[in-house]
Structure 1
Amino acid sequence: MTDDHPPRGAGGNTMLGKPVDWQKPTRSAARAQARPGSSGQAGKLRVFAVYAGAALGPLGGGVVAPMLPQIAHSLDASTSATTLTVTAYFVPFALVQLVSGTVGERWGRRRTVLLAYLVYLIASLLGTIAPNIALLLVVRAVMGTANAFISPLLLSGLADMVPPHRLSRSVGLLASCQAAGQSLSPLLGGVAAAANWRWAFVGVAAAAGLLALAPPPGGARPGPQAPRLRPLVNVRMGLLSVAAFVSYFGAAGLPFLVSLHAEEHLGIRPDLTGVALLGFGLTGLLLGASWGSLGDRLGPRRCGGIAAALGAVLVALTGSTHSLPALVLCWTGAGIAYSMLNVCLQNLTVREVPDNRGGALSAVSAFRFGGAAMAPIALLPLYHTAPPLSFVIGGSSLLLASVGLAALRSPRTGNPI
């Protein structure tokens, strides 16, 4: 056998007079390999379920906020105890995410997300029959813990389900769905409260049940292939975590501060205050996919740094507004900046540790929600002393994100930043 005569199966066969390389995958096969789980109708359904699942976490987390008075009355509980239903969800959600992504990647995304959806479903159904506030708090904690295994693994799975050139836009679209869940949760909670607050848990349970039918692909990775926590501990991940922390501490976690400013200093009615706050979340819903595309063209590091600096200015100005239109303009502008920053951070994080995407995403997300938890503790006392200064301090923290993103000069992968 000479070099002029290739062996069978290596390009020596012919079909219709043309040589055929049987070892070379066809175009459709290559496409399927590049996007596992995304081809065909079933694949499209899974991609849709990933986007819908991204809305479930913020929807289930915030749905109780408009129902707190009704829950307190129904369960004969104090207002302070009822308010803990929000805390009980988000504290375990943030803490468990420090490890949930890595654990989920080891167990397998599909199995982990399926189990988490079922736990979320059962906990939500228990919420419909909770006889007292103690059990309801347990239910909320279980829901938050389950969501810690859902949110990061959905984005991790999405990265394997779409072609690389569409990943940035897909991440932006997923961020839009998260914003949709956050924006719609007060509406669902308010509608349920008008009838019976327990119906909100029925709706959330139904959504979890449907989403459990289409978990993202991804099998278990045991032994040497198992993703590890150690690669998540590095300077670059630290910079992304700091940026994520201040993105909530200095922007997304400040609606309570804006509400106080609107009602106490501008004399705006509570219903109009809610309308004024709405623009922040709606911008994320409308612009997420666009920010993903822009990040592709200019680089997520550059776009994120600009967005953080712009957000710092707009948040600081929000605390100095003297009219409703000015408040709406500044706070909505801050929402535009935050949504760009959020998409850029998720784009950078999903590429940072390719062998453990879920772990990287969940760890950074833990710091993001840690910022939300720290904002009231750090800024509320300052607000009561010097209201405008609290906005300046909160907004200025976003500059740490600009500095951190500027320091991300050498990507760990070949992806441009």
Structure 2
Amino acid sequence: MIGSDPGRLRVAALYFGGFLGPFGGALVASMLPEMGASLGVSTGSASASLTAYLLPFAAVMLVSGTLGARWGRLRTVRIAYAVYTAASIVCVFAPSLEVLLAARAVQGCGNAFTTPLLLVTLAEATPRARLGRVLGTFGALQAAGQTSAPLVGGLSAEFDWRYAFVVLACVSAVLGVVGLPRTTTAEQTAPPRERLRDALRPYVLRVGVVALLGWGALGGVNFLLAYRAEDQFGLTASQRGLLLTVFGLTGILTARSVGRLIDRLGAQRTVLIGAVAGAALVAVAGTVPVLWAVAAAWAVAGIASQFVLVGVNAAVLAGGSSRGGAVSVVQAFRFSGAAVAPLALTPLYLAHPSAGFLVPAMLLAVVAPLAMPRTSAP
């Protein structure tokens, strides 16, 4: 257990590290016009800064947990934060879009080496009976980062969009200095020789498929909801932003309670509840003609997303071998779902708006329960 003041500070740093990842990824979403104008490119071209972060982040995370465990978690996390800080500084002074995109890609790679190692450290510092609620708190901070990033980015852009990256550089530098809490495992003195093949075992891959669907077919349809809010209800940009924000807000408020439920019911059962309920809510949000019903369904869908996303983390961290590599693979699947969703769902929406919501809802309701293992990690 961690009782000293420095220990508490390091535990707090674990949670803030969870906040930093999605916050840094989504920060540019609301300041793309200002970035584009400053760099002499269109808003559409500037939007590549989202993909430049997300794709390397998801790809590198397939191996980052295994490599981090092999190299030593504390050393790896500190180096990753240093790289993230340096890349953020480059973003501050980027003279062109090409330089900015390269720096964003490096940010994504650095973040890929923090998120899974932070989760494993939390798991090892927590009794198994309390693991769900701790992961729920971590999930709430991730949801807070995702939800608050557009607001902070927009406020920064009112003055200069580069200030947002100054904030990222300062926060990541502080987190790197604080480091990680000590745990009771031998990992601190003798890092295990984890292998990627151990992380890519069938149990982990099946949980990864659920994570991909849980984010791609649930949270990943938020952009479609923005389209629908404009096309069918005529909402303005600020009204659409408010509608989308309720998803994240309910996730923040309920993630820790969802974690407690996981401790009582088990990760597998909680994920199944979230997947089926989330599928129904996506279908409602994408088809009902009443705006208040759409908003209510999307708010409750934010809770269902925590059932799935906190649950899959608990499923791979509660036991089994190569936990660092396993959670890394599952997180890579999750963010791959976010990257694939716009490419896969936009054509469906353009063909028929309801199909853009009903197809992912059906996949979430049918495939996720079939893929989710019924037992704990072997």
Q: CA deviation at 1:299?
A: 1.4
Q: 2:99, 2:245 → 1: CA distance?
A: 32
Deviations 1:118-138 (A, max 9, x none): 111111011111011000000
Deviations 1:171-203 (A, max 9, x none): 110000000111110111011010000000001
In structure 1, what is the equivalent of residue 333 of structure 2?
Answer: 367
Over aligned residues, Cα RMSD in angstroms?
Answer: 1.3
Q: Give yes or no for the alignment of 1:317 onto 2:281.
A: no
Comparing 143-152 with 317-326, greater Cα deviation is found at: 317-326
Deviations 1:145-167 (A, max 9, x none): 00000001000011112223222
In structure 1, what is the equivalent of residue 362 of structure 2?
Answer: 396
Normalized per residue, which structure has more helix?
Answer: 2
Q: Which amino acid aligns with 1:169?
A: R
Matches within 5 A, 1:274-285: 274-285=241-252
Q: 1:220, 1:258 → 2: CA distance?
A: 49
Q: Which amino acid aligns with 1:272?
A: Q
In structure 1, what is the equivalent of residue 171 of structure 2?
Answer: 207
Q: 2:147, 2:220 → 1: CA distance?
A: 14
Assess if the C-alpha contact under 8 Å between 1:95 and 1:366 holds in 2: yes
Q: Which amino acid aligns with 2:289?
A: H
Assess if the C-alpha contact under 8 Å between 1:104 and 1:149 holds in 2: yes
**Helix, strand or coil at the partner of 1:266:** coil
Q: Which amino acid aligns with 1:372?
A: A
Assess if the C-alpha contact under 8 Å between 1:250 and 1:396 holds in 2: no
Assess if the C-alpha contact under 8 Å between 1:168 and 1:347 holds in 2: yes
**Helix, strand or coil at the partner of 1:162:** coil
In structure 2, what is the equivalent of residue 71 of structure 1?
Answer: 35
Comparing 389-398 with 137-146, greater Cα deviation is found at: 389-398
Q: Give yes or no for the alignment of 1:163 onto 2:161.
A: no
Matches within 5 A, 1:8-47: 35=1, 38-47=2-11
In structure 2, what is the equivalent of residue 219 of structure 1?
Answer: 188
Comparing 166-175 with 227-236, greater Cα deviation is found at: 227-236
Q: CA deviation at 1:220?
A: 6.4
Matches within 5 A, 1:207-286: 207-216=171-180, 217=182, 218-219=187-188, 221=190, 225-286=192-253
Q: CA deviation at 1:221?
A: 4.3
Q: CA deviation at 1:39?
A: 2.9
Q: 1:250, 1:412 → 2: CA distance?
A: 25
Assess if the C-alpha contact under 8 Å between 1:249 and 1:397 holds in 2: no
- For structure 2, the residue ranges without an aligned partner over 5 or more in a row are none
Q: Which amino acid aligns with 1:363?
A: V
In structure 2, what is the equivalent of residue 410 of structure 1?
Answer: 375
Q: Give yes or no for the alignment of 1:48 onto 2:12.
A: yes
In structure 1, what is the equivalent of residue 267 of structure 2?
Answer: 300
Q: CA deviation at 1:411?
A: 2.5
In structure 1, what is the equivalent of residue 322 of structure 2?
Answer: 356
Q: CA deviation at 1:63?
A: 0.5
Q: Which amino acid aligns with 1:367?
A: F
Q: 1:93, 1:412 → 2: CA distance?
A: 25
TM-score when normalising by structure 2: 0.96
Same amino acid, percent of matched pairs: 42
Q: Which has the higher contact order (CA 8 A, sep 6+)?
A: 2
Q: CA deviation at 1:321?
A: 2.4
Q: 1:221, 1:228 → 2: CA distance?
A: 15
Task: Please identify runs of 4+ aligned residues in structure 1 that moved more than 4 A.
Answer: none
Assess if the C-alpha contact under 8 Å between 2:226 and 2:240 holds in 1: yes
Q: Which amino acid aligns with 1:269?
A: T
Choose which of 191, 195, 213 in structure 1 pairs with 2:155.
191
- How many residue pairs were aligned? 372
Q: 2:252, 2:107 → 1: CA distance?
A: 24
Q: Give yes or no for the alignment of 1:145 onto 2:85.
A: no
Q: 2:200, 2:324 → 1: CA distance?
A: 14
Q: 1:409, 1:371 → 2: CA distance?
A: 22
Assess if the C-alpha contact under 8 Å between 2:32 and 2:46 holds in 1: yes
In structure 2, what is the equivalent of residue 19 of structure 1?
Answer: none
Deviations 1:310-355 (A, max 9, x none): 10011011111223212111111211111111111111011243x4
Assess if the C-alpha contact under 8 Å between 1:283 and 1:339 holds in 2: no
Q: Which amino acid aligns with 1:98?
A: L
Q: Which amino acid aligns with 1:101?
A: G
- For structure 1, the residue ranges without an aligned partner over 5 or more in a row are 1-34
Q: 2:356, 2:327 → 1: CA distance?
A: 30
Q: Which amino acid aligns with 2:240?
A: T
- Which protein has the larger Cα radius of gyration, Structure 1 or Structure 2? 1
Comparing 138-147 with 278-287, greater Cα deviation is found at: 278-287
Q: 1:86, 1:140 → 2: CA distance?
A: 8
**Helix, strand or coil at the partner of 2:83:** helix
Choose which of 18, 24, 32 in structure 2 pairs with 1:60.
24
Q: CA deviation at 1:209?
A: 1.1
